[in-house]
Amino acid sequence: MSFHALLAATVALASPAPSEPAAALFAGTAGELSHVELSAAAQRGAVVLWALGALEQHGPHLPLATDVYIPQAQLAGVAGRLRQQGIESVTLPPYFWGVNHVTGAFPGSINIRPEIMAGLMEDVFASLEAAGFREVYCLTGHWDAAHVRTISEAVRRADAAGLRVRFLAPTVLADRLGLTGPTIVRVELPTKSPAFPDLHAGEDETSAMLAIRPETVRTDIARRLPPAELDPERLARWRTGGEEARRITPDGYVGDPARADARRGRERHEAIVEALTRALTESRAGRGSTPRP
């Protein structure tokens, strides 16, 4: 039986039961505040945290919102650690609509034009500044190059206009895309455990989702998925996106989701939260940003 036939036969049984309502993504965010409470937080000098994800296919075993859930959970952890340090923060509801160049040919990968996304971000930044906020930190769980460059440019423009805006960018991502400048805050992430490139919906992301939103993972399917390993040449072609990416990875993942483990996911999540918090606090103290070229 082909994988797609297996999937058709099992998806009804493997799909997770309805879980928390979508409003759970607003828990602990500015979406629950009144305008009076929000204004008061701004006047107290609260830092704004914003997760910029995307609705994107993540294989047959993970939800489309994977790249939203993961950075939102990470920023929730950062907010808690900042609170322990006496630093107040306000977390915005996450952003769902990203640039999907690589996986844009798959159903469920909603692709937004970069100029539209950048314009929306700049409007949000302007609204935050008008409300009295002075400092914003952005994080993305979606590493599509076009998406990341769009964030970087929107952050740069908003920062140049007067609001202090920073992009928390993992060093490996910043190096790959050549992200530089004072608005880029490099974050040293813990080393991944997989033995080969685990770029999309593989062991790493599946472990993360088992840790933070286990009810959304189709575990019966994940356990049966064979490894999808790409050599450098095929990886380069996969990153060209569109139908070529779908041809190379017809099931929509790169890595080994069957090896996913909730415990490793929790450990890595905590390590990433710690790295993000450290990078943010060092940036606020005038360190941690890439010098101006």
pTM: 0.89
Q: Could you tell me the pLDDT band of residue 175, with boundaries at 50, 70 and 90?
A: very high
**Within-domain flag for 71:** yes
**Within-domain flag for 291:** no
Q: What is the CATH number of the domain that holds 148?
A: 3.40.50.10310
Res. 203: pLDDT tops 70:
yes
Residue 100 has what pLDDT?
95
**Within-domain flag for 206:** yes
**Within-domain flag for 293:** no
Q: How many domains does the chain have?
A: 1
- Average pLDDT on 271-276 reads 98
Q: Which two tokens stand for residue 91?
A: 């977390």
Residue 193 has what pLDDT?
58
Domain limits at 255?
3-12+21-284
Q: Which two tokens stand for residue 215?
A: 């009810």
Q: Could you tell me the pLDDT band of residue 27, with boundaries at 50, 70 and 90?
A: confident
- Average pLDDT on 28-35 reads 94
What are the angstrom distances between the C-alpha of 234 and each of 45, 51, 76, 249, 252?
Answer: 48, 30, 36, 10, 14
Q: Lowest mean pLDDT: which of 15-29, 153-167, 169-183?
A: 15-29
Radius of gyration of the chain, Cα coordinates, nearest whole angstrom: 19
pLDDT in tens, 209-250: 999 999 999 999 999 999 999 988 999 999 999 999 999 999
